[in-house]
Amino acid sequence: MESAKKKILIIEDNEILIATMQFILEKEGYNLVLAKSGKEGLSLIDEQVIDLVITDLALPQVHGYEIIDHIRKGEHNKKVPIIIVSGYKDDVSITEGFEVGADDYIKKPLSPAELISRVRLRMHA
């Protein structure tokens, strides 16, 4: 399966949600790297080759917008697709996510089918 070689970085501080996404995406054959804070996520982005980033916005230490901005302004992984998964459902947050450089936005609560569909779309775009 092609997806077995694809590496997804998930940056999420909610343990239940990170476990849920891990279960869903590993079942689809993706290789996952997990970070529970923005600072940890930034380190992983700079150290590894990542095929897709899924990030929350409200994170400890470094906000999701800062993570996206760091990725887009850096040399390493700057073209990686980024999906925001957030509880922020207002138009301003969603618009700002796209303006900073996100490729997609999923509102919480998370739908497993929507997650799989959007990950597939971004991985094969």
Q: Is 63 in a helix, a strand, or coil?
A: coil
CB burial readout 15-47, b (16+ within 10 A) else e: eebbebbbebbeebebeebbbbebebbbebbee
CATH number at residue 68: 3.40.50.2300
Paired tokens of 72: 């887009």
pLDDT at 14: 95
| 5 pLDDT above the threshold of 90 | no
How large is the average pLDDT for residues 50-71?
A: 95
- The pTM of this model reads 0.94
pLDDT per position as a tens digit, 104-118: 999 999 999 999 999
Under a CB-based contact definition with an 8 Å cutoff, are residues 21 and 54 in contact? yes
Please state the rounded mean pLDDT for residues 14-40.
96
Give the total number of structural domains in the chain. Answer: 1
Average pLDDT over residues 67-82: 93
Please determine, for residue 100, whether its predicted confidence score (pLDDT) is greater than 70: yes
Range of the domain at 40: 2-123
Alpha-carbon distance of 16 to 63, in angstroms, equals 20
